[in-house]
Chain A
Amino acid sequence: MSVATAEKQWQVAWVPVGLHHGTFVLLALLILVNAALTPNFATFATLWNLLLQAAPALLLGVGMTLVLATGGIDLSVGSAMALASVAAVLAIPHGTVAAMLAGLGTTLALGVINGSLIAHWEVSPFLATLATLITGRGLAQVMSRDGEVVPFSDPAFEALGQGRLGPVPVPVALAALTIGAGVFVVRATTWGRYLLAIGGNERAAYAAGVPVGRTGWIAYLVSAVLAGVAGLIETARLGATDPANIGAGAEFAAIAGAVIGGTSLRGGHARISGTAAGVLILVVISASFNMLGISYAWSMVLQAAIILTAAALQGRGSPGEGRA
């Protein structure tokens, strides 16, 4: 074995693993520091508050990780949240179930459009989902008369965002289930293996008989529908739809969470648990800066520094290795 291969092996074996664990170490560290410094941080109320705030981004993060694994990207998730929100609130007069179906149906349609553009017309994922980001946000605002905030009152719908199962807020339970399902799908299903194969080397995957188009298509569908669920949760928490603001910039939180968690933008990786930790790191930073009374601008600086560090560490590993 030559020195070069040995070094390569070392990187393959250790850099991603180190980064993967690094995410959890950093999260633990942030929590410990805050427990010591931030007043009232180490309480159950704060724990649930943090997880509740993270829940929509966690859902987006799972979908984004699957899409990133194929070597694609989904910029439209924030707009999908707004679309689901407006569609659901407009449908509330027809009942809670109809409202939720309207919300999810709209995002399903968005996912079909994204998937078709990318898989069948071979539009680059960045451009296709940038287009649906812009159209989706515009459409959401048009649907609510120029972007008006529309309040509603429907206790069953609001329970989706404000209810609890025992001590656990409903959105947190949904996020936890989704993360569990995501980890299972990537590790234990054929579709999960196809996903990583496409991201690793699309041509080789195609030659090996992987249904490239359909596999990627489903990833965008899942991403859009999870964004729909996140949009419904935000709407239920607010008791209103705010089409100009719901989900604005949410795609960045999801992408950043995934990158911090060790999922590469080059495809071939899908570290769902890492994404969850990455999203939580961002939420702990912004929430604790609020609680400490430090300007929001500084939390953005710290978040950016962590994202860059994670990206730089990833750059040293080679693409294509590592699984969930």
Chain B
Amino acid sequence: MSTCWGRRKFLQRLAAGALLLPGCRQSGGRLVVGFSQMDTGGAWRVAETRSMREAAAARGDRFRLLVTDAQDQTAKQLADVEDMIARRVTALFVAPREYEGLETVFAAARRVGIPVFLLDREAREPGTDYLTFIGSDFVAQGRQVAQWLVRHTGGQAAVVELTGTPGSSVARDRAAGFREGIAAAPGMRILAAQTASFSRAAGQRVMSNLVQAFGPRLTAVYAHNDEMALGAVQALRAAARRPGRDVTVVSVDGQRAALEAILRGELGATVESDPRLGPPAFAALEDHLSGKPVPPRLLLTDRLFDASNAARFIGQAY
């Protein structure tokens, strides 16, 4: 197989003035695939990117992975994806910040025949704008947490909800799932739902305000991710409400720090949202390249961690 950036080839292309023209799908005989990550803030995103790099390295003789970081800006992600389409990558993995902003570039990818694999955040129409979605069922995650909380509190709790970034599908689905999960238990009440943008610092700030507002009335906290839950634990402690005893805190993600908090008795439960999407993503890509059909949704099975199993799984946590 010819190389794209070998010196000889490079000079030939330079001579032909064709260096910047599309058509460079291969690098050292390997297929170049792009991964547009929306952000690298927080353990979850870091683990996801690492998993993609590792899965690509494990297939290093066949694929080379280009990674871009949109730094939590839709406009930057748009440009990142456009650049990779212009480079004519073989396939695109996209962990979208918000799906709506990216429809136009997905259409552009389709026109030039680059398959798009959507990671971790889902959108409306699999099969047309993108080939498949690989990730977790966020509604099911919210439901699982809610069911654990109903069991643990005997169906009686006044809950404060710390929600994720407004408008993100994760926040929407984890909120909806939680409400499904508590629907059958009339003793479960949601006192307030306020956003803390998936960040630990914001979780602490918002929670300290809510503790002041509700005082001893609040008995449980549901955070849309572990980071906010860990911030809430700090805020509860600062307000002399003992997390795990006076107030039950639950969340989603299953990161190592959360499992440690479970072992300390501060966090009640967390549902895993597996960031290790690299292996299933590359498996789907290989299937697609060899002509096998790829289902429109590839959902991971998420486990629930609480005091009964946290010690056993902490070695696997990210």
Contacts and interface: CB of A to CB of B under 8 A. Distances in A.
A244 B213 CA distance: 29
B52 to A, nearest CB: 13
Contact of B42 (A40, A49, A244, A246): A244
B43 A40 contact: no
A291 B49 contact: no
Contacts of A317: none
A146 B40 contact: yes
Size category of the binding interface on chain A: 35 or more
Contacts of A41: 212
Contacts of B206: 290
B257 A149 contact: yes
Contacts of B231: 238
B202 interface: yes
B195 A149 contact: no
A147 B238 contact: no
Interface string B181-208: 0000000000111110001111011101
A245 B234 contact: no
A242 B212 contact: no
Interface string A124-148: 0000000000000000010001111
Nearest to A56: B201
Contacts of A297: 166
A70 to B, nearest CB: 30
A242 B209 contact: no
A38 interface: yes
Interface in A146-183: 146-149, 151, 162
A234 B202 CA distance: 11
Contact of A290 (B42, B194, B227, B238): B194
A193 B193 CA distance: 49
A291 B199 contact: no
Interface residues of B, number: 35
A58 to B, nearest CB: 15
A244 B40 contact: yes
Nearest to B193: A293
A239 B233 CA distance: 11
A37 B309 CA distance: 45
Contacts of A287: 209
Nearest to B260: A151
Given A146-B49, A162-B238, A242-B201, A291 B213 contact: yes
Contacts of B299: none
A43 interface: yes
B257 A290 contact: no
A296 B195 contact: yes
B212 A46 contact: yes
Contact of B212 (A40, A145, A244): A40
A43 B201 CA distance: 24
A7 B277 CA distance: 69
**Which one of B166, B212, B238 has the highest number of Cβ atoms from chain A below 10 Å of its Cβ?**
B212
Contact of A245 (B49, B199, B213, B230): B199
A146 B46 contact: yes
**Which one of A38, A147, A292 has the highest number of Cβ atoms from chain B below 10 Å of its Cβ?**
A147
A54 to B, nearest CB: 11
Contact of A291 (B166, B200, B212, B257): B212
B201 A291 contact: no
A38 B209 CA distance: 11
A40 B201 CA distance: 23
A215 interface: no
Contacts of B202: 245
Interface string A217-240: 000000000000000001001111
Contacts of A151: 257
Contact of A239 (B193, B213, B234, B239): B234
Interface in A32-81: 38-41, 43, 45-46, 49, 52-53
A297 B214 CA distance: 21
B42 A149 contact: yes
A297 B163 CA distance: 13
Given A162-B238, A242-B199, A244-B40, A49 B209 contact: yes
B60 interface: no
A290 B210 contact: yes
B41 interface: yes
Contacts of A148: 42-43, 46
Contact of B205 (A43, A53, A162, A239): A53
9 contacts: A53-B208, A146-B40, A147-B40, A147-B45, A149-B257, A238-B231, A240-B230, A291-B209, A293-B193
Given A146-B49, A147-B46, A245-B199, 20 more contacts: A40-B213, A41-B212, A45-B212, A46-B212, A149-B43, A237-B234, A238-B231, A239-B234, A242-B41, A242-B200, A243-B41, A244-B42, A245-B41, A245-B200, A245-B201, A246-B201, A291-B210, A293-B192, A293-B193, A296-B195
List of 10 A-B pairs having minimum Cβ-Cβ separation, nearest first: A244-B41, A291-B213, A290-B209, A245-B199, A293-B192, A287-B209, A46-B212, A147-B40, A146-B46, A147-B41
